[in-house]
Amino acid sequence: MLAVTWADRTPFGDARTEAKVVHPVVMARFARGPFRLDATLNLEAATMRGGELALGVWGEGFNDRRHPHTVAHELIVSVGTRRWSVSVGKGFVPFGSDDPMSRPALRYPVNHHWSQLLERAVTAAGVRVGPAALEAALFNGDEPERPGQWPAWDRFGDSWSARLTLFPAPGLEAQVSTADVASPEHRPGAGPEHRKWSVSLRAELPRGRSRVTSLVEWGRDAELDGFFRYYTALAEAQLERGPARAWTRLERTDRPEEQRVFGDPFRSVRPHFDNSILGISRWNTVTVGAARTWTWRRAVRLEPLAEVTFARVTNVTGVVQTPEALFGRNQLWTASVGLRIGAGAPIHRMGRYGVLANQDLHGHE
């Protein structure tokens, strides 16, 4: 997708406009007998190495920019049946909700690092009994420091997660998950562990020519025995009607504030060398967007879109770095127009391996 994004304000600065190619992915799935490969190649390292302008979004040393993901985004081999599975490789950990790239909005939510765990060396086992699926995984806690970096193999197994997914009725999917992630932000392993919880309910409701997809989620991340606690609540919905779609997202998410790097107000100091932060800010955002798809020769999809986000940022604990000090005010706007170009199957729900693979919300495979 080619996206032009305008943001007002930016950290220690005024309004800014940038054009980037975002979400450049190549996805493939292969299945034979009990074996299956899920692979996603992410080319953001080439198209947005400095990140995507996105106020509020943070992680991996980026602030108010979404970081580029690693090139080998998913490379997971699974073996099993509908009742059981084992998955091994690099990819998503069974925790939280769907990756934002496969959800309606262009812009990532602030809670990406609270609600998904990805790009890890993971071994997961799953069992499926009736309308319930239980997954558990071991993985490495460290998150990538740059797009070309592989997980720290010697840290494999220092972190774990478990997710229970329920399919209570056609079109409904609920999950509750927890994870204990060792030192995600300090690759050598000296950083604090993160104790995480996520609960979400996802619904897909077809109505004639229309379809409504919605997600509500809540999450908590506690660090240093709960000394720092971050909460997130999010609700989003999309209405699809023929080739057109419109979406909205409401979010309230806490994020840590960290000292910015000299000369780059969008980056924070890495690696950490103590356990202090500059405060916690709370991002209350409203996002609305719309798009329409045209198909060219049944092979290529072209989807122009427009999206606007309003954020009201409040200060939870900061003294030396408040939203007002950072941005000059606490009401911020971000707007984007873009053109998505796709071929083949649409972006699939990433992180759905083993017993959750090929399972839509209506029980179909």
Partner 1 sequence: MRRYALCALLSLMACSDDSSGPGSGDATSTASIAIPPNYGIHDTFVRDGLAFVSAWNSGLLIYDVGNGIKNGSPSDPRLVSTIVTADRGVPGGAQVHNAWWFHDPSGSRRYVFVGQEGPGVIGRSATGDIHVVDVTDLEHPVEVAFYNLAGAGTHNFWVDEAAQVLYAAYYNGGVVALDVSGALSGDLSSREIARVLPGGQSYVWGVQAEGGSVYATDMLSGLWQLQLAGNQFLVAGGGANVAARFTSDLWVRGGYVYTGTWGQRGAVGNAVNVWQLDAQGAPVLVDSVVTDNITTVSDVEVSPDGSLLLFSSENGPRAGLRFYRLTNPASPRFVSDYLVPGGVHTATFALIGGRLYVFAAKNPPEPALLIVDVTDL
- Residues engaged in binding partner 1 (CB under 8 A): 12, 186, 188-192, 224-228, 259-263, 269, 271-280, 317-321, 325
Nearer to partner 1, 277 or 350 (CB): 277
| Distance of alpha carbon 102 from alpha carbon 109, whole angstroms | 12
At residue 105, φ and ψ (nearest 5 deg) are -75, 155
3-state secondary structure 147-190: CCCCCCHHHCCCEEEEEEEECCCCCEEEEEEEEEECCCCCCCCC
Cα dihedral: 218, 223, 226, 228 (round 10): -80
Output the smallest distance, CB 356 to partner 1, in A.
35
Minimal distance, residue 231 CB to partner 1, in Å: 16
Q: Which of 172/325 has CB closer to partner 1? A: 325
* Cβ-based nearer residue to partner 1, 50 or 189: 189
Residues pairing with 178 in the sheet:
162, 197
Q: State the nearest-atom distance from the C-beta of 146 to partner 1, in Å.
A: 12
The CB-based long-range contact list for 257-263 (8 Å cut-off, 24+ gap) reads 257/281, 257/318, 257/321, 257/326, 258/63, 259/321, 260/11, 260/12, 260/63
> For 48, which DSSP code?
-
What value, to the nearest 5°, has the Cα angle with vertex 353 and ends 347 and 356? Answer: 95
Question: Shortest approach of partner 1 to residue 327 CB, angstroms?
Answer: 13
- Cβ proximity to partner 1, 153 vs 262, nearer residue: 262
CB of 147 to partner 1, least distance (A): 18
Q: Which of 20, 187 has the CB closer to partner 1?
A: 187
- Could you identify the residue written with the tokens 């500059």? 278
Separation of alpha carbons 148 and 150, rounded Å: 7
Distance in Å, CB of 116 to partner 1, minimum: 25
H helices of 70-172, in order, are 112-115
Span between the terminal Cα atoms of the chain, in Å: 29
Q: What is the nearest approach in angstroms of partner 1 to the Cβ of residue 183?
A: 10
User: Looking at beta carbons only, is 40 or 183 nearer to partner 1?
Assistant: 183
Shorter beta-carbon distance to partner 1: residue 319 or 345:
319
* CA separation for the pair 146, 138 (Å, rounded): 22
